[in-house]
Amino acid sequence: MPAPTENNPGSFLGRISIRRNQVMSMDGNHDQELEDLELFQKHVGDRFSELFSSTTEDPSSDALLSIGWLRKLLDELLCCEAEFKAVVMMGRDPSQISKPPLDKLLPELLDRVIKSLDVCNAVTLGLDAVKNLQRLAEIAVSALETRPMGDGQVRRAKKALNLLVTTMIHEDKDCGSTKGTERSRSFGRKGFNGGNKDRGGGSLRALSWTMARNWSASKQIHAMSSNLTAPRGAEATGLASPLYIMSTILVFVMWTLAAAIPCQERNGLSTHLPFQRQLAWAQPMIGLHEKIAEEWKKKEKKGTVGLLEEMQKMEKLGQSLTEFADSFQFPGDNERLDEVKVQVEELADICRKMEEGLEPLQLQIREVFHRLVRTRTEFLHVLDQAGKLSTPTM
């Protein structure tokens, strides 16, 4: 089998079909299987290594945890997932999948898949909250873009920015604890209590951004990763290996999404993921994880709406522009105004990125969702077949 060239990810589907034929014809050939597994590991390593290096080596590419980068991450997840299925499922006798150690590992993987589905949904809702922030930032931008800048426009911007910054903090608090859900639940039919002073648009925080009661992103991630152990001994060269790899990828991607995008209950989101340090394919993932975990630790103390690069920038700009608005006196200091002009342009740029990127990101998360659902169904089908084969009915 010709070694596929690394810098040609487009040939991926071709690889699968070639591989598939070979599996068909060489069923049971152990060497072939070993080769497949090695290739899979190599591809996973390559994919994440590219994600890793893009954030350090190439300043022109998408920054770590930016919308663009997350989309790349999801692309890689989808590719790895397809290849994983090709390795584990295609052309394989169902009975192989129902034998130990897979009889235990596969249900564990499927459980992680289910938990991933909920994480996908939680961040999809979180992106809606981000969209809300985008709207507020757009108000600030359009107010501060007006020339000449006067008190009216500055006050208008200040109002939006205040809401933006407080919403960011509140969002995280409310999303961060189930209190938010319960409080909203207790509304029942009474609706807003009339005396609520904090009546700006921001306080009309919708319940629809919340998941099920008591659902917690950090708990889910923890449950996904706690029983994740690398296969040892003979298992390390068998089918247990791709299952472990796929599980690791899922845990890592879901953890990253939860860290980046606001979602329900992230308090105590673990910064420790049980990676096997000596595995070559895991190195780039470990590198990425360390970077992100560091960011998370820094931000967690302050309380943050999420590590999404655009949102962090928005928060910084929001604070800086609020300071400007607080001290603004008509007609304003020219130097400061020029500074502000740059910042407003930056904020406008972020809004544009969000406008262009949030929707596709949401769609892509949904694609991951559907793909995982399908994979689960396919595996269940194979397990079902294996079950039928092992207990023949009359």
Partner 1 sequence: MEEHKPMTTICEQDQHMVAAAQNILKGLASSKSISNELRKTLLDLEIQLSTMSTINERKGNGIKLLERELQFVEDRVKSLETNHISMASSSEYLKLVGEIQTLTQTLQQNFCSVNEKWKHKELVQRANEVMQVVMSKLEEELVQILVQNKQYFELDYMLFHSNSVDMVYDESYVSIEDEQINETSRSSDDGTIDLVNPSVLEDLKSIAKAMFGSNYHKEFCHVFIASRKYALDEYFVILEIEKLSIENVLNMEWYSLNRRIKKWIQAMKIIVQVYLVSEKRLCKQVLGNFGSVYQICFSEISRCSIFHLLNFGEAIAMRTHTTENLFCLLDMYEVLDHVAMDIDILFIEEVDSFVREEFHKLLRNFGDSIKSTFLAFRYAIATNPSNKCFPQGGVHHLTRYVMNYIKALVEYGDSLNLLLIDEVSTDPTASNDNSENSNLSYCSLACNLRQITTTLESNLCNKSKLYTNEALQHIFMMNNIHYMVQKVKHSNLCNFFGDYWLRRRVGMFQNYARSYEKVTWSSILSMLSDESVSTCGTKRTLKKKCKDFSVAFCEVYKTQTGWSVVDTELREDLQISVSQKVIHAYRSFTGRNSSDIDEKWIKYSVDDLQCCILDLFQGSSKSLHHS
Residues lying near partner 1 in the complex (CB under 8 A) are found at 114-115, 117-118, 121, 124-125, 128, 131-132, 135-136, 138-139, 142, 146, 148, 150-153, 155-156, 159-160, 184-185, 187-192, 199-202, 204-213, 215, 330, 359, 362-363, 366, 370, 373, 376-377, 380, 393-394
Our CB check for partner 1 shows the closer of 292 and 317 to be 317
Our CB check for partner 1 shows the closer of 245 and 358 to be 358
Residue 310 CB coordination number (10 Å): 25
Enumerate helices (H) and strands (E) in the chain, giving the number of each: 12, 0
Shortest Cβ 121–partner 1 spacing (Å)? 6
Our CB check for partner 1 shows the closer of 126 and 231 to be 126
Our CB check for partner 1 shows the closer of 130 and 240 to be 130
Cα 265 off chain centre by:
15
**What is the C-alpha end-to-end distance of the chain, expressed in Å?**
44
Shortest Cβ 6–partner 1 spacing (Å)? 34
Shortest Cβ 190–partner 1 spacing (Å)? 8
Our CB check for partner 1 shows the closer of 29 and 390 to be 390
Our CB check for partner 1 shows the closer of 26 and 206 to be 206
- CB–CB of 94/128 below 8 Å? no
Half-sphere exposure of 68 (CA within 13 A, CB side): 11
Shortest Cβ 156–partner 1 spacing (Å)? 5
Shortest Cβ 381–partner 1 spacing (Å)? 9
| Identity at 349, one-letter amino acid code | D
Shortest Cβ 237–partner 1 spacing (Å)? 32
- CB–CB of 217/269 below 8 Å? yes
φ, ψ of residue 238 to 5 degrees: the values are -100, -160
Dihedral (CA of 167, 170, 176, 181) sign: negative
CA distance 244 to 274: 11
